[in-house]
Structure 1
Amino acid sequence: MNELAGTLTGFVRTLRAAGVAADHERAQNLLRALDHLDVTAQDEVYWAGRLTLCAGPDDLPRYDRCFAAYFGGARAAVSRAGTTSVTRHTAAAAEGERREGEAAPATASRTEVLRHRDVARLTDAERAEVHRMLSMLRSGRASRRSRRYESAHRGALDQRRTIREALKKGEVATLRHRRHTTRPRRVVLFVDVSGSMSPYAETLLRFAHALVRNEPRATKVFSVGTRLTAITGELRHRDPGTALNEVSRAIPDWSGGTRLGEELREFLVRHSARGAIAVIASDGWERGDPELLGTQMARLARQAHRVIWVNPHKGYEDYQPLTGGMRAALPYLDDLVAGHSLAAYEELSERLAHA
């Protein structure tokens, strides 16, 4: 039973990554349905999942693709006569393919290796697997105190509520209190899409998609290259593939140069990073004036709650910030972190959660 639950949990996570809103309650409904079905019959598992995990017609194509990919067989197809054509995978057949105790450790080991490998050196299949795991990243967010109040048992005296109740009752019967509410701290993310960052740009944008998906109102994403482009709207699509396609059409300066100083100046004139966590993902190869970049980084540091620079080359032991852009920005950074692997993005997510 535990093995079945683990398999179905992985399938539900795959559906979520594909954009299907398969929450915990739907997953529990699937498990309860399979208690009354033959779990070795693929057609019964297919229809049980389809009826419990899909919320509408838009989910059906995604469900079919994920089911075929996850369980390794064609989905059940209903003919006009009402018969079904299925591919069955029994527990005995699965046991014949591997010796007991080998598959799970091998899969875990492979996943752990992929977590720490440089995404620029992965094969297409390995990169797709890393992107799938990245799409399931649940990034927390540090909170900040807002100006709004909420009622509380302790805290500052809520004079208005106390006086209003006293006027109704004729006496002060109860003292009412209030406290500030909290909100997720904003994150402003700048993703370098220049030629030198092309091996990492797609993975960074998928990380940005995970941030926007988790906190859509508290995340702003811009691409930087030869111009500043706001891409938050494009990243709000639930499906990562659709979001990346929209982003590719929105960015006009793929694989060009980097003029980060000019683009930060444009951002600070038109927008604000006050109280936010500013994250700059770039290798620091600045084609513009490094002195201008230093000036704008100083302005950004005065506005932002924290400034984090993500450099893919930081993941190597012999890395030193020697480029002109990195030397200009370094005095104004709170953190300089790696951005070359899935493990590095998980660490960055933890920093955002505890900044």
Structure 2
Amino acid sequence: MADLPPPRPSGRASSAAANAAIAAHVPGATIGLATEPAEIAVAFSRVLRGAGLRVPTSSTHTFASALCAVGLDDRAGTYWSGMSTLVRRPEDIAIYDKAFAVFFEHRRSTSDDLQEQDPLSITITIDTDDEDGADDGADVADGDDEETVELRFSTTEILRNKDFAEYSPEELVLAQEMMSSLKLIGSPRRSLRLGPARRATPRPDIRRTVRASLKAGGEPIERHFRAPTERLRRLVLVLDVSGSMEPYARALLRFVHAAVAGRQKVEAFALGTRLTRITRELNSRDPDIALHEAGQRVLDWSGGTKLGVGLRQFNDEWGVRGLARNSIVVILSDGWDRGDPDELATQMERLQRVTHRLVWVNPLKVTPGYAPLARGMAAALPYVDSFVEGHSVAAMQELADVISLP
């Protein structure tokens, strides 16, 4: 395999329309950015399936492992990794070459390229599954003798990595459904309550042992024991609703509602110039009702930010008294604060002492060249256990994984 030649170069640049279509609808089209090889493997496998190739899930896993080994910068290695793991029939090689060129090299197959490679002419069109563009690919094949392969991609896949600030109201509804499927479950902890134990422990269960002995004439043949049970840790979400967070607050509030409506041990607070508990308002499973009631409850939407004052109120009235003890506390904020940074640092230190894990979610963290230079963010960061992004549904999935860590 080492002597195999690399894929033939295109020899012609792709058109602007094709580049725009691929960048808009093909997951992972921007290969030069920080994209995981596993995501690239999954997206390209979907392209091949849409083109008619049979690509089982095991082949996708093998392709992802090969990409991790050869790296995405090696185009020849990427080409032959896919060829050896995803192509099973000789007649599929031509389709694989066209799909590889469109997906990885951002170009359309031209007539000159096809004459050099294969007399088979295939046009690849890309579309999404929304209603507006449902029939766009059908018109391409009319009046054309070339074989047309239509590749369709889910709108939800596109929204997973789209920035919340760019969402339309309709996309927010779809994001609500996607975030409702996230499993926001805190890590388990040992409880003071005792329950039945499968193995012998130093704590015998006298009541169950005596009851079992009645079946054997009073002889304690079968002995039972007790042991501490496990309970899920409480999750506390504090959402910054100040003016600087306005582009993200509407989407993050839907995330908070999805967590509260999941019927886990979740508490929710809104933080602006004051602290407002909104757990009861978000308890409804109907998003419209829950968001409306939360909007009526919070009186300082899109106002100023006093993180230190709000966290002091949280610590005094809720957190230190028990709500945050051994809990997972998540603060969703960009870190812009009008208050005293020293007070914020003091309250973050108090909170970090009693929590199991203190997580800070900043939607601006994804910005290229971001540095925590805001006074509030710089003061709070030394006391944060996990500092994660919060700009997209994919980032919310990563947050869910952080929350479930032991």
Shorter-normalised TM range: 0.5 to 0.7
* Secondary structure, counterpart of 2:160 in structure 1: helix
Task: Kindly report which structure 2 residues correspond to 1:1-355, keeping only aligned pairs within 5 A, or say none.
Answer: 102=150, 105-108=151-154, 110-156=155-201, 157-161=203-207, 164-165=210-211, 169-216=217-264, 218-272=265-319, 273-355=324-406
Closer, same or farther: CA 174–318 of 1 in aligned 2, 3 Å: same
Instruction: Give the partner amino acid of 2:206.
Output: R
Displacement of 1:309 in angstroms is 0.1
The question of whether the paired residues in 1 share the 8 Å contact of 2:213 and 2:221 is answered with no
Partner of 2:72: none
Partner of 2:77: none
The question of whether the paired residues in 2 share the 8 Å contact of 1:321 and 1:327 is answered with yes
Closer, same or farther: CA 71–333 of 1 in aligned 2, 3 Å: closer
Closer, same or farther: CA 179–205 of 1 in aligned 2, 3 Å: same
126-135 or 283-292: bigger deviation: 126-135
Question: Normalized per residue, which structure has more helix?
Answer: 1
Displacement of 1:123 in angstroms is 3.4
For residues 155 and 352 of structure 1, what CA distance do their matches in structure 2 show? 32
Displacement of 1:128 in angstroms is 3.5
Instruction: Give the partner amino acid of 1:271.
Output: W
Q: Deviations over 1:149-188 (max 9, x none)?
A: 2112214232433664488554432221122222211011
- Long gaps (5+) in structure 1: 1-69, 73-92
The question of whether the paired residues in 1 share the 8 Å contact of 2:163 and 2:392 is answered with yes
* Secondary structure, counterpart of 2:153 in structure 1: helix
Displacement of 1:101 in angstroms is 6.2
What is the number of residues matched between the two proteins? 262
The percentage of counterpart residues that share the same residue type is 45
- Long gaps (5+) in structure 2: 1-128, 142-147
TM-score if structure 1 supplies the norm length?
0.68
* Secondary structure, counterpart of 1:128 in structure 2: helix
* Secondary structure, counterpart of 1:319 in structure 2: coil
* Secondary structure, counterpart of 1:137 in structure 2: coil
Closer, same or farther: CA 172–132 of 1 in aligned 2, 3 Å: closer
* Secondary structure, counterpart of 2:189 in structure 1: strand
Instruction: Give the partner amino acid of 2:272.
Output: G
The question of whether the paired residues in 1 share the 8 Å contact of 2:267 and 2:279 is answered with yes
* Secondary structure, counterpart of 2:305 in structure 1: coil
Displacement of 1:193 in angstroms is 0.2
Displacement of 1:244 in angstroms is 0.5
Structure having the higher Rg? 2
TM-score if structure 2 supplies the norm length?
0.60
| RMSD (CA atoms) | 2.6
The question of whether the paired residues in 1 share the 8 Å contact of 2:331 and 2:360 is answered with yes
For residues 321 and 231 of structure 1, what CA distance do their matches in structure 2 show? 28
